[in-house]
Structure 1
Amino acid sequence: MFSLQKNYLYLLGVIIIAICSSCDSLFREAPEKNPLARVGDAYLYKEDVVSLIGDEMSAQDSALFVTNYINRWASKQLLLSKSKINLPEEKLAEFDRLVSDYRMDLYTRAYIEALVLQSQDTAVTREELKGYYEKEKENFKLNEKLVQLRFVGLPLQFLDKDAVVAKLKNWKEEDKEYMDSIAVQFKKIHFNDSIWVGASRVMEEIPPLTPLNEEQYLKKSQFFELQDSLEVYLGKVTNVLQINDTAPFEYVIPEIKQLIVNKRRLDYARRLETEIIDEAIKKNEFEVYGKNE
């Protein structure tokens, strides 16, 4: 019996030595990393830095970048070591919990967002948009003046300005057709006076309009003629909404659509979290202990 046990131990030793030799051989064959710097037990390797060097960098720029990166890395490592020595244990434990929680939040949020984007339909019907608008209309207040207008920018040497002025003022079907027919002669045009446009956007397109004079020119039924060193601007304002007025439906459609889609995503994420917990409970993968203790 003793002899068999001795032989068994001998064979076991041979096997262990063979395994270790094999492992040693494997370790020797594995490519070694190239360290660039060391602080205590922490190493910075070439592989950690090389991906950060842009192809457009010269050799001199690359060398300077690597040197600066190594110094910053070393400074952080040294400060980290000092902090672990000098900060109270309870503070270190608190930071470790915060880091762990943040890491978990990053993973879970990214996963949930990926599932939401994969499965969520972002199509929103006009009926949904209109229903949301009517329900929440009082929450859609303007934070800038809106105007409906038509205008053109004419070259300074334009010969038939009076005809354009008359057409812009009358704006009957034949006037629109005439303006369309000569539109290639204009430097700027905006004929769709059913669209609401922010006053700031209008001032971008018509530089002589400024916050100092927009009250004079951007008012309902106002026709204006302004000029700078480049163009003559002719415009007819058809309607105006002031700050704190209720925003028109068409103007806030993009905002409403985003609100609806965001609500869908939030609802889906909440439902997903509930379903995951329910499934884990059914599979006995999740238990809560001591609830009744």
Structure 2
Amino acid sequence: MYSHQKRTIYLLFVVGLMAFTSCEGLFREKTEKEPIARVGEAFLYKEDLVPFLPDDMSAQDSILFVTNYINNWASKQLLLSKSKINLPEEKLAEFDRLVSDYRADLYTRAYVEALVFKGQDTAISNFQLREFYEQEKENFRLSEKLVQLRFIGLPLQFLDKDNVVDKMKNWSEDDRIYLDSVAIQFKKIHFNDSIWVNTSRVMEEIPPLTPLNEEDYLKKSQFFEIQDSLEVYLGQVTDVLEINDIAPFDYVAPDIRQLILNRRRMDYIRNLETDIIDEAIKKNEFEVYGKDN
């Protein structure tokens, strides 16, 4: 809802552009629209503008907004009018056809998406994901190197680095519990070495690693220590998959899920289109003339 002040200023601004509703008009069943601007036979109504006027706008900004809106509207209407006079008829016909097609696409797309959202089965079991993966495994070749690793970022002046290095290498349950207990002293930490991460992501987290040196550090069973001007990074690589290796299931499972959903969606839409045509034919709402002639 607009504030009383904003509404008052707004009405004062447009008072010269529209007529106030008469006393007699207050008792009409249907209130006439209130025009605030006209270009030829086209009218801009108060109801057209109000939804675009932000509620939190100051009174002065509201006046400026209304002025700019009306001027922009008038400019478009005038250009549209001149274009209809000066453009060739075939070009106008082409544009009208494009506008009609675009309008139809908007309506049908929104309707189909609503039906898909309501009717499509989105439940996918792990068995279905696995089955798809096994059938399409050759299509899941890696385009980027993947690694499994754990790493820590330490302040440059960290005093107990050697102890942390030992525990990162040994990685017993006690070692992990200890490192978790002092993790507040670390700048970065990643202990989940069972997940696959692409090398570009690792380089984002460990800036001293670059495409020029990553082959030296990101090797299977490799422990590395590397630093920049801010931190010392300690890392233990547990496994590596190279470019063109088959991607692990866990890494591509989200993509597989989306692929299955997309296929279901396309199947649903194809069946929907077929059903709509069949129903229209049965109801004699759709007919192709001259088909059997």
Give TM-score scaled by structure 1 length.
0.83
Greater gyration radius: 1
Question: Within 5 A, what are the aligned runs for 1:37-186?
Answer: 37-186=37-186
Deviation at 1:250?
Answer: 1.0
CA drift at 1:235: 0.5
Cα distance between partner residues in 1 of 2:76 and 2:245: 54
Q: CA deviation at 1:230?
A: 4.1
- Report what 2:261 is aligned to: 261
Q: Secondary structure at the match of 2:53?
A: coil
- Give the match for residue 189 of structure 2: 189
Q: 1:131: how far off?
A: 1.8
* Cα offsets for 1:19-59 (capped at 9, x unmatched): xxxxxx99966323222211110011121112111122222
Please tell me the root mean square deviation across aligned C-alpha atoms, in Å. Answer: 2.4
Deviation per CA, 1:62-89, whole angstroms, max 9, x where unpaired?
A: 2222222222212221222122222232
State the 1:116 CA deviation. Answer: 0.8
* Structural mapping, 1:235-246, within 5 Å: 235-246=235-246
Of residues 123-132 and 208-217 in structure 1, the stretch that sits farther from structure 2 once superposed is 208-217
Which one has a larger percent helix, Structure 1 or Structure 2?
1
**What letter is aligned with 1:137?**
K
Instruction: Tell me what 1:18 maps to.
Output: none
Displacement after TM superposition at 1:256 (Å): 0.8
Match in the other structure for 1:204: 204
Q: Secondary structure at the match of 1:51?
A: helix
CA distance in 1, matches of 2:61, 2:213: 52
Q: Deviations over 1:209-264 (max 9, x none)?
A: 23343233222222112234443221111222233333222111111100100110
**Greater CA deviation, 56-65 or 190-199?**
56-65
> 2:162 & 2:241 partners in 1: Cα distance?
29
CA distance in structure 1 between the aligned counterparts of 2:27 and 2:102, rounded to whole angstroms: 35
Unaligned 5+ segments in structure 2 are 1-24
TM-score (norm 2): 0.83
In structure 1, distance between residues paired with 2:242 and 2:78: 59
Shift, 1:157, TM fit: 4.1
Counterpart code for 2:104: M
Aligned residues: 270
Q: For residue 232 of structure 1, what is the aligned residue in structure 2?
A: 232
